[in-house]
Structure 1
Amino acid sequence: MTTLPASAHWQPALGGDGFVEGIDDIRQAIAIILRTPVGSDPLRPDFGSRVWQYLDWPIDRARPHVVRETVEAIRRWEPRVKVTRVVVALDAEAALKITAYFRLASSGPEISAEVRPK
C-alpha cells in the first residue's frame, strides 16, 4: 500500500522512489531551478536560471555572477523562501558547489540547500 504525503507541498523524489515533502521538497525545488537552463523548458521558457553560463569561468570571476543568478532565480521561482545568502565554492573535484541559505517565507531558522550544477 502506498502512503500519501501528509503535506500540501510535495513532489516525486528525483533519483529515487516515493516523494519528498517539507524542507526536502524545497531543497529539491531549488536544485531543479538552479540546474534548469532558462529556455530549456518549452512550456515554461522563462523557468530556470542562468547559472550554467558561468560553469567554465574562473571561480573568482564567476562567483558574483553565480550569486546574482542564484538569488534572482530562487526569488522568482520559489516564493516559499527568502534567500539570506549564497556561498559559491569548488568541491574536491574542482566542480562548482552552490549553497543557498534561506528562511521560510513564514519565518523560522536559516536552512541551506546545496546544489552542484551539472
Structure 2
Amino acid sequence: MDKDFLGAGWKFPVRIDEDGSFSLSKHEEDIKEAIIIILKTIQGERFNHPDFGSGVYDYLFSPVNRSTISLIKEEIERSLKKYEHRIDIEEVNIQIEEAGKLLINIEYTIRSTNK
C-alpha cells in the first residue's frame, strides 16, 4: 500500500539528525505526532493561526467529574475532526487515575485517502 498520502513532517519534538538535517516522521508516526501537537497547542498560541489547537487546557483546574470529562472528550473529538483529516475517530476513553490525573486513550482508524 502506498502511504505517501499520509505525509511526513518534522519530528516532534524537533530534532536534528547527525547529518545536520531535521529528523522527519513519516506516515503513521507523523499522524500520531500531529495528534499530540493539536491537543497540546492552546488556541491563540499560534500568531498566524489563532484558532489552531484545542481547548483541553481550559479544563486544567476544573473539578474532575463526569461533566468535565464529557467536555474534554468533546473538545478532543472536535479538535481532531477539525485539524487531522487523515483519521476517523473511533472512540475517546478517559479514565481517572490517582490524584485526579486523567488517562486519555484515543482510538482511531487511518483513512485510506486523505479526502
TM-score higher than 0.5: yes
Displacement after TM superposition at 1:20 (Å)? 1.1
- Structure 2 residue aligned with 1:19: 24
CA RMSD of aligned residues (A): 2.2
**TM-score, with length taken from structure 1:** 0.75
Question: 1:55 touches 1:96 (CA, 8 Å); kept in 2?
Answer: no
Aligned to 2:19: none
Count of residues in correspondence between the two structures: 102
Q: Deviations along 1:35-91, whole A, 9 cap, x unmatched?
A: 001111111011000011112222223210110000000000000001111012345
TM-score, length-normalised on structure 2?
0.76
1:55–1:62: 8 Å Cα contact kept in structure 2?
no
Runs of 4+ in structure 1 over 6 Å off: none
Task: Please give the alpha-carbon distance, in whole angstroms, between the structure 1 residues aligned to 2:105 and 2:26.
Answer: 20
Is it true that 1:54 corresponds to 2:40 in the alignment?
A: no
The structure with the greater share of residues assigned to helix is: 2
1:28 and 1:36 map into 2 onto residues whose CA distance is 12
State, as a whole percentage, how many aligned pairs show the same letter: 25
Report deviation, 1:93. Answer: 6.8
Distance 1:88 1:67 in 2: 7
Unaligned 5+ segments in structure 1 are: 1-5, 108-118
Match of 2:20 in 1: none
Q: Helix, strand or coil: the match of 1:106?
A: coil
